[in-house]
Amino acid sequence: MAIRGLLRVGEVAFRVMDMKLARQHYGERMGLIETLEDADGRVYYKTWDELDHHSVVIREADRPGIDHFAFKVYDDATLTDLEPKIEAFGLKVERIPAGVYPKSGRRLSFVLPTGHTMQLYAEMERVGNTMGYHNPGVLPDEGVIRGFRIERLDHILLGGPNIEENERLFTEVFEMSVSERIIDADSKVSMAIFFSGSNKPHDIAFQAQPDGNRFHHASFRLQSAADLVHAADLIGKYRIPVDVSSNRHGVTRGLTIYFFDPSGNRNEVFTEGYMHYPDSPTIVWDTNDLGHASWSQDNVVRPSFFTVLT
């Protein structure tokens, strides 16, 4: 069926501890496009090929981590339809009027069983990618593609307890598929669950953690493996702290690099990966092969990947 309901992660809002360094990292080096600084000092970014006003929001605080994330939904009627279903699941829904969040229509806000604040919205001001929509060609204006050559915000990975309850919400209410999961080989308990509401291997994933509302990473899609090498060269040039250098995931099959912003929030750039469809069976990995599930080129488990979250 055509993609309806929840379309994609349209906004992720997180905290940084030094706005000057953060703007250098996300704007000058990664190449995100700054679209707004609001009256409260929050800074908004989009990638070159995103059409909506922004996808990333950062604010200065005394500790890093996530404030909220938001999925864009198909239309306003979808918001109306989902509200009673979320409440019937057992979550309290707050209605947020249009305009409270800049450039955004009305929203629904609720707290997941993992402790994360999730929002849904249907409308955001569209600013485009400089190419227009009639005979647009294939390239934006000169200088629009820069830095890491990031195409879009692709997905997020979050950590917290009760990820099985999140699974019920995302499959029963939001009608997403579980594309992959990692389980403990002995207990069979889920350690990580990956959800797709599109043709991507995942749109959002949750990792089991003892503390709620933890932020693992925001992931940005590149067009090609050559762009991944280009990003790796810039990461090295600017001495950006690296968590995992160029490798391939077993989970999702994506080529990837993980690195940290100046506040310790983890970022990912990646490319490739497989196509997912609603009839695709769930791929299950267990901890007997955790090295290959995580890093298929060297099969080495990085403990930091499972323990370092903000």
| Residue range 119-149, pLDDT digits in tens | 999 999 999 999 999 999 999 999 999 999 9
pLDDT value for 302: 87
**Model pLDDT for residues 172-212, shown as the tens digit of each residue:** 999 999 999 999 999 999 999 999 999 999 999 999 999 99
Give every CB contact of residue 24 below 8 A, 6+ residues apart in sequence: 262
Would you give the end-to-end CA distance of the chain in angstroms? Answer: 37
- What is the rounded distance in angstroms from the CA atom of residue 128 to the CA atom of residue 254? 27
pLDDT value for 1: 44
Output the six-digit token pair for 59.
């604010």
- Averaged pLDDT for residues 14-43: 98
Contact (CB, 8 A) for 164 and 190: yes
- Give the DSSP H/E element, type plus range, for residue 158: strand 152-160
Q: Which domains does the chain have, with CATH numbers?
A: 6-121 (3.10.180.10), 152-307 (3.10.180.10)
Percent of the chain surpassing pLDDT 90 = 93
Catalytic site positions: 155, 202, 217, 249, 258, 268
Contact (CB, 8 A) for 59 and 13: yes
Output the six-digit token pair for 95.
């209605």
